[in-house]
Amino acid sequence: MRRAPLTLWIGAALTGVFALAAVLSLLWTPYDVTAMNIGARLQAPNAQHWFGTDHFGRDVLSMIMVGARISIAVAVVAVGMGMVLGVPLGLLAAANRGGLVDEVIMRGNDLIFAFPALVIAILITAVFGPSAVNAIIAIGIFNTPVFARVARGGALSLWTLDYIRAAEVSGKGKLRISAEHILPNIANLLIVQGTIQFSLGILAEAALSYVGLGAQPPMPSWGRMLAEAQTMISFAPHLAILPGLAIVLTVLGLNLMGDGLRDSLDPKLRRAR
């Protein structure tokens, strides 16, 4: 409890660094990420290229900065989409627990869960062509049932509590109770799940980019940088380590921030500090 502000600050700082890098890359990068320089290929980190260069001689630092934009944007938008679609569905299912609406929503969830994510992603790209936007849609669709389940599970236990009864006696309808009472009280679950899904989102984006369904070259993304680095890991390990580290630190930062946010949103814990 007492360390809540600290985790929040560390998390925010880590996330902030990458967010800043992403924003900065819109205006300026040390080198052009599309410029090849075969003479300077596969350099280890040095004074000119702080993070070294890849097999085309592109600057890795610049690529990580631009990649941050793609990876974070894809993951954030996909998780946001999953939340925006999934949480209301879960709340609706819980409000009608045991009823037809609940059954339809949850079986629909099962249906999406049952499909391998990659198959749907391939389907989407087959129809609309590969791009970062389609990767977002594919990842977002697969985040939806996760949030629907978490929201429903958390809401179900709340629906048995007396303060919900009191709200019903105060004449409030199911939707209003879901929005006013249930949602704020499952926010902590959703934030934690959100940070977990975010890390999975980054990995999913990496996976889609790896099979060529995500961001298209020459647009760098962390996932594709990792994919390309794997064949060269024995003689240019920095190509795998640095984007990998970027993913790890971003995910860690977001998880810490999520934990801290959860604690500081809870009035009970806020006072206990």
Partner 1 sequence: MSLIRVENLSLDIHGTPILRDVSFDIAPGRVFGLVGESGSGKSMTSLALMKLLPDGATRAGRALMDGRDLFALDEGAMCGLRGNDIGMIFQEPMTALNPVRTIGDQVAETLVIHGAARRAEALEIARAKLDRVGLDGTRFPLDRYPHELSGGQRQRVCIAMAIALRPRLLIADEPTTALDVTTQAQILDLLRGLVAEEGMSLLLITHDLAVVAGLADHVAVMQSGKIVEQGPTEALFRRRAHPYTRALFAASAHRPARVPTARPDRLLEVAGLRRSYALPRRTLFGPAPRMEAVRGVSFALHKGESLGLVGESGCGKSTLTRAILGLEAVQAGHIRLQGQTPISPIMPKPARAAMQVVFQDPYGSFNPRWRVARLVAEPFHLLPEWPKDARARVEQALSEVGLTPADADKYIHEFSGGQRQRIAIARALINRPDLSVLDEAVSALDVRVRAQILDLLARLQESHGLGYLFISHDLHVVRAITDRVMVMQAGEIVEEGATEDVFANPRHPYTRQLIAATPVIPAAWMKEPVDAPVV
Shortest approach of partner 1 to residue 186 CB, angstroms?
11
Cα(245)–Cα(92) distance, integer angstroms: 40
Strand runs (DSSP E) across the chain, as ranges?
none
Residues that bind partner 1 (CB under 8 A): 161-163, 165-172, 180-181, 184-185, 266-268, 271
Shortest approach of partner 1 to residue 93 CB, angstroms?
20
Shortest approach of partner 1 to residue 175 CB, angstroms?
13
Shortest approach of partner 1 to residue 169 CB, angstroms?
5
CA dist list (Å): 241 to 48, 137, 233: 19, 29, 9
Number of Cα atoms under 13 Å in the Cβ half of residue 64: 27
Shortest approach of partner 1 to residue 162 CB, angstroms?
4
Tell me whether residue 39 or residue 171 sits nearer to partner 1 (CB atom).
171
Tell me whether residue 110 or residue 168 sits nearer to partner 1 (CB atom).
168
Tell me whether residue 32 or residue 180 sits nearer to partner 1 (CB atom).
180
Identity of the amino acid at 36:
M
CB within 8 Å of 7: residues ≥ 6 apart: 256, 257, 259, 260, 263
CA dist list (Å): 141 to 131, 134, 212, 262, 272: 16, 11, 19, 25, 39
Shortest approach of partner 1 to residue 92 CB, angstroms?
19
Shortest approach of partner 1 to residue 3 CB, angstroms?
15
Tell me whether residue 101 or residue 249 sits nearer to partner 1 (CB atom).
101
Tell me whether residue 6 or residue 161 sits nearer to partner 1 (CB atom).
161
Identity of the amino acid at 246:
A
Cβ count within 10 A of residue 228: 19
Q: Give the CA dihedral 88, 89, 94, 95, nearest 10 degrees.
A: 60
**C-alpha 260 chain-centroid distance:** 17
Q: Which is nearest to 199 in space by CA: 165, 223, 171, 234?
A: 223
Tell me whether residue 154 or residue 214 sits nearer to partner 1 (CB atom).
154
Tell me whether residue 141 or residue 186 sits nearer to partner 1 (CB atom).
186
Tell me whether residue 170 or residue 234 sits nearer to partner 1 (CB atom).
170
Shortest approach of partner 1 to residue 26 CB, angstroms?
38
Q: If you ran DSSP here, which 8-state letter would residue 230 be given?
A: G
Cβ count within 10 A of residue 104: 14
